[in-house]
Structure 1
Amino acid sequence: MAGTTRDRLVAAGVQIVDEHGFREVGVRAVAARVGVSHGAPRRYFATLDALLAAIAAEGIADLDAVLRPAIDAGIPAAAVAYWRFARDRPGMFELIFRHDVLAGAGESLRTTTGAWFRALVAETGDAEHALACWSSVHGLCVLAATRVPDAVGVVIDEATVRRVAENVGGS
């Protein structure tokens, strides 16, 4: 791992989140992965929540990199990009929407997610319509991640996500 110690700590945290989920991130686990003392992360992050916010900022940047161009291609394309991120990186997807954990941790994470919503509003022309679309697609992602639909024999896949986005959000 190249970069500053802070960068290496965040990168290690991202790896842990992607491999095991955000609940497995701890100061000692991150330090051990980087090969520094367990006290080293405290030089860069006053609290575990501050470390989690820095990790979440990386995840939000990654989601932003795939979501922004997709939004420009229309709501169904954006919905599928969102779905793929949630499917491929469920631990990070959960972390970046845990505002209860991340609030006040110093990363201004809602700035980026707010821009996504404003882009959806611009695409739909109506804030309530945009909210209905985002909440529908986000709900599908959460349901699929928790495997709730398996219990009732429903499959949530990209085609389902696209249909919901087309019906709720338009094209």
Structure 2
Amino acid sequence: MIDTVYMSGEVQPLRARLIDCGRELLDDGGIDAVGLRAVARHAGVSHGAPRRYFPTHKALLAAIAASGFAELSERLRSAIVSEADPLARVRRTARQYLSFADTHRTLFELMFRHDLLEGSGEDLRHHSKPLYETVVALVADAGAETPHVVALNLWTQLHGVATLRATRSIEVIVGDFDVEAFVAQLIDLHLRA
């Protein structure tokens, strides 16, 4: 039973390699390009190898989504520890969230497709809820009187901006869009109210 693969001079656990290959296929061709056989072919393993780790297509997609949550969480943690001022932490975290969404568009979309991933065996709330709780803690530290309400408003608006940017809808409607200025206004609106 092979649990590792040798690729480009390094040994990698097979499960991790399959997830990485799934992410590459996702980036190149969207959700429809990611299948168990396609991932196996891309990873250079037998077509049955992915089933040892992912019994269904949904399980594979959910594992890919979970890897996205892990990466996004790490980026947000780095943003938080790099700033001392609470308001600056909120702004930096918001920028990181939007940057991740912009650089990983299809992964970002998949991560929040709970409808598609339901029944996958992966509890994605286990990954997404801590992100929301991070926003709650950040806005509470920045002085929000009702942190859960402010966090939900801010997160849904940031997520909306990320989604609209991914589809280029904002640019079509308003032309040039200064996302930095808009996010700063959005944060000020919620935290200075």
Q: Is the structural similarity TM-score above 0.5? A: yes
What code does the residue aligned with 1:76 have? R
Q: 1:26 to 1:147 in 2, by over 3 A?
A: same
Distance 1:115 1:60 in 2: 10
What code does the residue aligned with 2:137 have? A
Which runs of 5 or more structure 1 residues have no equivalent in the other structure? none
Equivalent residue number for residue 129 of structure 1: 150
Task: Among all aligned residue pairs of Structure 1 and Structure 2, give the percentage whose two residues are the same amino acid.
Answer: 42
Q: Which of 131, 137, 146 is matched with 2:167 structurally? A: 146
Deviation, structure 1 residue 160: 2.4
Distance 1:23 1:165 in 2: 36
Deviation, structure 1 residue 156: 5.2
Aligned CA RMSD, in angstroms, stands at 1.9
Distance 1:28 1:69 in 2: 36
Aligned length: 170
The answer to whether 1:159 aligns with 2:174 is: no
Distance 1:37 1:81 in 2: 38
8-17 or 108-117: bigger deviation? 108-117
What code does the residue aligned with 1:158 have? E
Distance 1:16 1:158 in 2: 31
Distance 1:85 1:43 in 2: 30
51-60 or 145-154: bigger deviation? 145-154
Q: 1:54 to 1:35 in 2, by over 3 A?
A: same
- 2:66 touches 2:127 (CA, 8 Å); kept in 1? no
Larger radius of gyration: 2
- 1:63 touches 1:85 (CA, 8 Å); kept in 2? yes
103-112 or 3-12: bigger deviation? 103-112
Which runs of 5 or more structure 2 residues have no equivalent in the other structure? 1-6, 84-88, 141-146
Structure-1-length-normalised TM-score: 0.89
What code does the residue aligned with 1:139 have? G
Distance 1:4 1:132 in 2: 40
User: 3-state DSSP class of the match of 2:12?
Assistant: coil
- 1:133 touches 1:169 (CA, 8 Å); kept in 2? no
Structure with a larger share of its residues in helix: 1
Deviation, structure 1 residue 164: 1.9
Deviation, structure 1 residue 151: 2.2
Q: 1:117 to 1:45 in 2, by over 3 A?
A: same
Q: Which of 73, 80, 92 is matched with 2:107 structurally? A: 92
Equivalent residue number for residue 52 of structure 1: 61
The answer to whether 1:114 aligns with 2:157 is: no
Deviation, structure 1 residue 142: 0.3
Equivalent residue number for residue 40 of structure 1: 49
